[in-house]
Amino acid sequence: MKSSARCLKAVEHLYPRAHSTSFIGLGRMGHQMAYNLFSKLYAKNSHAHFVVCDAIPDSARSFSENFLKHFPEVNVTVATTPEE
């Protein structure tokens, strides 16, 4: 096992989102980029977990609601800060 994978295994209980895909910045371009990325990843893995964050919380919520309309069973979390 590679050392980076071993380190991730050792701390994954501390970071429950270690196996998620996150996107920060959901403006005009970011919204489309996140949608394309998430939809392709979701097609490969229906158990995928996505996290979105934006400086304007309503943008992140709007993206999440829009994405859930097309993929109702997906797991999307809205983070309030990039650290989260």
Provide the token pair at 8: 């991730």
Q: What is the pTM of this model?
A: 0.74
Helix axes 57-70, 28-44, angle to 10 degrees: 40
Summarize the confidence of residues 52-76 as an average pLDDT: 94
**Band (77; pLDDT cuts 50, 70, 90):** very high
Are 51 and 23 within 8 A, CB to CB?
Answer: yes
pLDDT in tens, 25-56: 999 899 999 999 999 999 898 888 999 999 99
> What pLDDT does residue 23 have?
94
